[in-house]
Amino acid sequence: MTKHDIVIIGAGPAGLAAAIAAYNAGVKDIVIIERDKEAGGILNQCIHNGFGLHRFGEELTGPEYAAKYIDMLNNTDIKLLLGTMVVSIDGKIVSMVSEADGFCQIEAKAIILAMGCRERNRGPIFVPGGRGRGVFTAGAAQRYLNINGYLVGKRVVILGSGDIGLIMARRMTLEGAKVLAVAEIMPFTNGLARNVAQCLEDYDIPLYLSHTVTNVIGKNRLEGIVISEVDENRKPIPGTEKRFECDTLLLSVGLVPENEITRSAGIEIDPRTNGAIVGEDMQTGESGIFACGNVLHVHDLVDYVSAESERAGINAAKYVLSGCVGSVGNATYIQNGTDVSYTVPQRIEIENIEKSVDIFFRVRRKIDSCRINVVSEGEVIASFKREFVAPGEMQKITLPRLLLDKALGDITVSVAEIAEE
């Protein structure tokens, strides 16, 4: 067994940003473990632009964004173990396997979880009908197309209007496929508004809100898809069926943070995010184990992933250099109020916050004009106006320490619609 100061699991944008921040904060003995054969994570297959506007002030493609961090990494002594899969963590012992070295273990002083997430597939959402070839998750189709050079179909229906589905609707169209429809079970899209405009509206691809797939036709290869309108309980309404003759169904029906290792290490998971519960320092309930990026909660902007991961890296470095950060337990909890589905962090230690803390959250429904209120013991301690919020767009508020000092107990974040005059 070897020993290292910080072990980071995953070399996507989260792992890379965390590593560089920890290195710059003074810890030089860092190892990143990545199961893929190169660093960059999901960014490597996202060849569209739209990355890095906040971070670098320019619109980069996914690989360009990743390359900026890989270049920074190459100017450090951080070790990158590629083709190596972490199979478990037990306390601070990380167990992994690779073709080159077989089974190995590292004892770390601090660990950063940055394993990203995977796509939900057909099983959990009970897509009925035949099992013919031609049903793919949108991200798998993206990888086939952008990395391996295969177009997975010519006539396509997409289920789910998350960003990957929207981006693939445009990508398949640009490569010559006909995208017949995007069906979304909710009455609103789950992707960024800019992706709806640039990926569907610009290409006249119809979006069927409050619709789902009710039949998949075809024994060996998919031949058609039936979609139906759903009622307010998301149950298909008989008589509303529409049939599309197609050879491919792409599923963009959600992402699941990859937390099998986290769970089996006994780290407490928030059922709302499917990620670990963390404090403002990105530390999980286990002292010295930090989490960041999509493994913590699903992000739509990589810029936020990088900023969050830098916090994890800096705090992991502080932990290694000083033996602890925060106190894991003596905390103010952040509760979800009206129309808020989760917050990250879920707890904060106000004494540890120097100037301010960023709270990320998602709303439950689309609201045009509203206020985000932060309340403690019935008192509004902060309030932020928003012109528009939607579940597909992660929200961020920054709470200054000065206002947090007014909190008398736990705090609640909620959304209050501003009534039209």
Ligand X SMILES: Cc1cc2nc3c(=O)[nH]c(=O)nc-3n(C[C@H](O)[C@H](O)[C@H](O)COP(=O)(O)OP(=O)(O)OC[C@H]3O[C@@H](n4cnc5c(N)ncnc54)[C@H](O)[C@@H]3O)c2cc1C
Among 30, 106, 111, 114, binds ligand X (CB under 6 A): 114
What secondary structure does DSSP assign to 327-360, as a single string? -SSS-EEEEE-TTEEEEESSEE-GGG-SSEEEEE
Closest CA to 107 of 125, 91, 86: 91
Among 19, 27, 30, 43, binds ligand X (CB under 6 A): 43
Closest CA to 169 of 94, 101, 246, 241: 246
Nearer to ligand X, 84 or 376 (CB): 84
Nearer to ligand X, 394 or 399 (CB): 394
Q: How far is the CB of 96 from ligand X (least distance, A)?
A: 7
Site string for ligand X, 14-33 (x = CB under 6 A): xx-----------------x
Nearer to ligand X, 264 or 341 (CB): 264
Site membership for ligand X, residue 361 (CB under 6 A): no
Q: Residue 350, by phi and psi: left (phi above 0), alpha (psi -120 to 50) or beta? A: alpha
Q: How far is the CB of 359 from ligand X (least distance, A)?
A: 18
CA-CA-CA-CA dihedral for 13, 285, 259, 251, to nearest 10 = -70
Q: Footprint of ligand X on residues 380-419 (CB under 6 A)?
A: none
Instruction: Give the count of beta carbons closer than 10 Å to the beta carbon of residue 354.
Output: 6
Q: How far is the CB of 72 from ligand X (least distance, A)?
A: 15
Site membership for ligand X, residue 165 (CB under 6 A): no
Q: Footprint of ligand X on residues 44-63 (CB under 6 A)?
A: 46, 50-51
| Alpha helices (runs of H) in 254-385, residue ranges in sequence order | 260-264, 302-322
Distance separating alpha carbons of residues 337 and 410, to the nearest angstrom: 12
Q: How far is the CB of 119 from ligand X (least distance, A)?
A: 8
Residue nearest to ligand X (CB): 12
Distance separating alpha carbons of residues 131 and 253, to the nearest angstrom: 18
| Alpha helices (runs of H) in 158-239, residue ranges in sequence order | 163-174, 193-195
Give the range of 34-42, 152-160, 180-188, 315-323 binding ligand X by CB under 6 A.
34-42
Q: Helices 302-322 and 13-24: crossing angle, nearest 10°?
A: 40
In whole angstroms, how far apart are CA 154 and each of 92, 151, 200, 402?
Answer: 49, 8, 17, 57
Site membership for ligand X, residue 360 (CB under 6 A): no
Site membership for ligand X, residue 303 (CB under 6 A): yes
| Contact status, residue 278 vs residue 326, Cβ threshold 8 Å | no
Site membership for ligand X, residue 274 (CB under 6 A): no
Give the range of 22-30, 287-295, 354-362, 384-392 binding ligand X by CB under 6 A.
287-295
Site membership for ligand X, residue 164 (CB under 6 A): yes
Nearer to ligand X, 66 or 404 (CB): 66
Distance separating alpha carbons of residues 179 and 195, to the nearest angstrom: 15
Give the range of 5-13, 72-80, 338-346, 354-362 binding ligand X by CB under 6 A.
5-13
Q: SS3 of 35, please?
A: coil
In the complex, which residues of this chain contact ligand X (CB under 6 A)? 9-15, 33-36, 41-43, 46, 50-51, 85-86, 114-116, 139, 142, 163-164, 167, 258, 261, 293-295, 299-303, 305
